[in-house]
Structure 1
Amino acid sequence: MNSKILIIEDNEDIQSLLFDVLSNNYLIYKALDGISGINEFKNIQPDLIILDLMLPQINGESVLKVIREQSPVPIIVLTAIQNKSTTVDLLNNGANDYLTKPFDIAELQARIQVQLRNRIQVQNEHLLVYDNIKLNNQTHQVIANKQQIVLSKKEFNLLQIFLSHPHQVFEKSQLFQMVWHEEYFESSDNTLNVHISNLRHKLASATGQNYLISIWGIGLRFI
């Protein structure tokens, strides 16, 4: 599947140029102002963003801040400002790269390829995969049977343990201490059971399978 690129740029000529050049290799989405850009980002979850600084509604620096608070998606900034301190600030605030206008289209294409390649490498480093379940340690996203599952922090941490050690049998006291970082008492059993039940139900709803098996008298195993 082609990578999704979101272009947030208010200059329609530049937008059209980028679309014509990039659409052969990528799925291109466009926004003409900062607010539309943030909404598009939330809707499509792009693989890379090309961001202009001088935007209507809200400026590019504000868009960068909002997106970076929610996602590590690579962002290449386009700017007419050639002030060194401004570009340093952009990189410190979360931009992955920048080009000053006017820019060379071949250079932009090369930088896009580098950022997408780096993104895949980072994703692979942070990815746990078992059967049709994928867990991303960096983004805290869980995909099961191509569906995104929303987990609480404790449910996510439990799944993280199970995916890291599939088929291993865990005692309930082990799981509680690993996730809650507290001493295990009999009363802790109810807390753990509720989270295990929720996790089991969410995975089964997405996949139609029961991955969490109770081993009587011992604990739990992920199969």
Structure 2
Amino acid sequence: MTSKKTSIVIIDDDPRLLNALSINFKARGYEVHPATTGAQGLQAVSQTQPDVVILDMGLPDMDGSKVLEGIRGWSAVPVIILTARSDPLFSAAALDRGADDYVTKPFSMEELLARVRVALRHGNPQQFAQRSEVTVVQAGDVVIDVPRHSITKSGEPLHLTPTEWGLLTTLLRARGGLVRKEDLLAEIWGPGFEGQSHYLRIYTSQLRRKLEDDPAHPAFLLTEPGLGYRFVVPELGGPGCGYSE
């Protein structure tokens, strides 16, 4: 039986770059679906249900952020942003809208391939569920069901990106213990991301906005300055609060 190829949608209006990326990914066994406009890209993502998306932010028909918002409206597929802007605030804004990673032009093919491999790891949420001894966590009105890859707040479902989910479940495995920044970066983004603490600041901020009643004064996802992070379930005294196996 022939194994299914990893599917990738590449959205970029530069025909030379799009062709070069298509050739390189096909040579490595990927099934490639190229698109030169945002509209084509959204259609390709909808029709092919890819394993990962590479999205250029500068498109002729619509802003790349609008394409990202469109994808995130119905899909948790990992999205890697391509941008010609080196401004970290711009890239942070893209991550804040739901992108999983970004690469600044010009970039090497090896760098992009490494980012894709990391994104693909996060695209399989069961990977984190299988490695975790924790099954269900209740923290106040937040219920996290790890095996089912579901999370609710006050009974309403929450959407997490693959990277957010990976970060959260990695912290849950520590059962309130400190997880060092270096260990989180290695676990979630892989080797070579040491020192990239801005990733953690962005994603913990996103998680707090989704999980916490007061993100500025978090009750669960806590920062230990200079050390790392922990996810703590306060002893509220109510039934069901805590970690379950």
Global fold match (TM > 0.5): yes
SS in 2 for 1:49: strand
Q: Which residue is 1:207 aligned to? A: none
Q: Comparing both chains, which one has the higher relative contact order based on Cα–Cα distances under 8 Å and sequence gaps of 6 or more?
A: 2
Distance (Å, rounded) in 1 between the aligned partners of 2:88 and 2:127: 34
Q: What is the identity percentage for the equivalent residue pairs of Structure 1 and Structure 2?
A: 35
Output aligned runs, 1:123-142, within 5 Å. Answer: 123-124=126-127, 137=149
- Give runs of aligned pairs for residues 27-106 of structure 1, distance below 5 A: 27-106=31-110
Q: Which has a greater percent of helix?
A: 1
| 1:123–1:42 Cα change, 3 Å | farther
Work out whether 1:18 is the aligned partner of 2:21. Answer: yes
Aligned length: 132
Partner in structure 1 of residue 230 of structure 2: none
What is the alpha-carbon distance in structure 1 between the residues aligned to residue 40 and residue 68 of structure 2?
Answer: 13
What is the one-letter code of the residue matched to 1:20?
I
Distance 1:43 1:136, change over 3 A: farther
Counterpart secondary structure, 1:70 = coil
* Alignment partners' CA distance in 1, 2:114 and 2:121: 11
Mapped partners of 2:22, 2:148: distance in 1:
30
Distance in structure 1 (CA, Å) of the matches to 2:109 and 2:103: 10
Q: Distance in 2 between matches of 1:136 and 1:18?
A: 35
Q: Would the alpha carbon gap of residues 136 and 7 (structure 1) be closer, same or farther in structure 2, given more than 3 Å must change?
A: farther
Larger Rg: 1
Mapped to 2, the partners of 1:62 and 1:123 lie a distance apart of 29
What are structure 2's unaligned runs of at least 5 residues? 131-146, 151-245
Paired with 1:35 and 1:125, the residues of 2 have a C-alpha distance of: 33
- After the TM superposition, which segments of 4 or more aligned residues of structure 1 sit over 4 Å from their partners? 124-127, 135-138
Q: What's the CA shift for 1:124?
A: 4.5
Q: Counterparts of 1:118 and 1:106 in 2: how far apart (Å)?
A: 19
Structure 1 residue 136 displacement after superposition: 6.6
The aligned residue for residue 218 of structure 1 is none
Quick one: which amino acid aligns to residue 54 of structure 1? Answer: G
Is 1:118 equivalent to 2:151 in the alignment?
Answer: no
- In structure 2, relative to structure 1, the CA distance for the partners of 1:114 and 1:58 (3 Å cut) is same
Looking at structure 2, the residues matched to 36 and 60 of structure 1 have their Cα atoms a distance apart, in angstroms, of 12
In structure 2, the partner of 1:177 is none
* 2:102 alignment partner AA: Y
* 1:9 pairs with 2:12: yes
Secondary structure, counterpart of 1:29 in structure 2: strand
Q: CA–CA distance in 2 between the matches of 1:63 and 1:123?
A: 27
- Sort the Cα spacing of 1:19 and 1:86 in 2 relative to 1 into closer, same or farther, 3 A: same
After superposition, what is the alpha-carbon deviation per residue over 1:32-87, rounded to whole angstroms, capped at 9, x for unaligned?
Answer: 00011111111111110000000011111100011011111000000001111111
Instruction: Deviation per CA, 1:65-117: give whole Å up to 9, x if none.
Output: 11011111000000001111111101111010001111111010111111112
CA RMSD of aligned residues (A): 2.2
Unaligned runs of 5+ in 1: 128-134, 139-223
TM-score (norm 2): 0.50
Q: Please state whether the residue corresponding to 2:50 is helix, strand or coil.
A: coil
1:123 shift after superposition: 3.8
